[in-house]
Chains A and B, each alone.
Chain A
Amino acid sequence: DQQVKQNSPSLSVQEGRISILNCDYTNSMFDYFLWYKKYPAEGPTFLISISSIKDKNEDGRFTVFLNKSAKHLSLHIVPSQPGDSAVYFCAARSTGTASKLTFGTGTRLQVTL
């Protein structure tokens, strides 16, 4: 049972444009969400997170939006840069399960020149 879903396995965006990566979840107990970026042969790198008490969190070029009623979150990257090309994982956690993270299967972002 996939509790965190990233339905787009890949996304291609031109440099300078906006990249929007989507994530859906089914477990209503999730109350904290994170995005990680992963380059080949490296471990996931933490990007940005959001608590369920907020609907938006911004850090530089990265903004995460949370729609609790739709159980949906998205990561916006503006402007997209070639160095952003990587696999992006959405992850979720519920307070009652210690710090266990449940990950989506990832979206491969390709930023083209």
Chain B
Amino acid sequence: DSGVTQTPKHLITATGQRVTLRCSPRSGDLSVYWYQQSLDQGLQFLIQYYNGEERAKGNILERFSAQQFPDLHSELNLSSLELGDSALYFCASSPGLAGGRSDTQYFGPGTRLTVL
């Protein structure tokens, strides 16, 4: 158990809908990351938050947005869903140490999103 929790575990929805994925980081971790894993692909970095502020952005679609709240949990919002958005979405957290080099990321169990 990494200490990172994600809800829900599974989500099935229709095209055009909007969903919210939730992540609670490990106790004490300030950084939260979101990754997307499509079928047979590696994990693709979407976005990072550090202590409530956006720190880095990857290839995140404009239809997707995220935020980190004062209690450090994070939510990833996916809107106008398309079939191609079906994927595993992972959240990771890290202490957010200065320098960043050895700031190991610990992953949650993921949310499997299916868009029909």
Which range contains the number of A residues in contact with the other chain?
Answer: 20 to 34
Kindly identify, within residues 68 to 110 of chain B, every residue whose CB is under 8 Å from any CB belonging to chain A. 90, 92, 94, 96, 99-110
Interfacial chain B residues near A34, Cβ < 8 Å: 104
Report whether B48 and A98 are in contact in the complex, using a CB–CB cutoff of 8 Å: yes
Find out whether the CB atom of B90 lies under 8 angstroms from the CB atom of A43. yes
Determine whether B40 belongs to the interface, using a CB cutoff of 8 Å to chain A.
yes
The answer on a CB contact under 8 Å between A43 and B42 is no
Which of A41, A42, A46, A105 sits near B104, CB closer than 8 Å? Answer: A46
- Residues of A with C-beta under 8 A to B108: 43
Contact residue among B56, B96, B110 (Cβ-Cβ distance under 8 Å from A100): B56
Asked if B109 and A43 sit within 8 Å, CB to CB, the answer is: yes
Digitize B3-17: 1 where CB-to-A-CB distance is under 8 Å, 0 elsewhere: 010100000000000
Contact digits for B23-43, partner A, Cβ 8 Å, 1 yes 0 no: 000000001010100001111
Rounded to whole angstroms, the CA-CA distance of A25 and B45 in the bound complex is 17
Contact with B along A37-56 (1 / 0, CB 8 A): 00001111110010100000
Supply 9 A–B pairs (Cβ within 8 Å), ascending by A: A4-B42, A34-B104, A43-B108, A91-B43, A93-B101, A99-B94, A100-B33, A100-B45, A101-B45
Given the contacts A43-B109, A44-B107, A99 and B48 also touching, CB distance less than 8 Å: yes
Which listed residue, A36, A98, A103, touches B100 by the CB 8 Å rule? Answer: A98
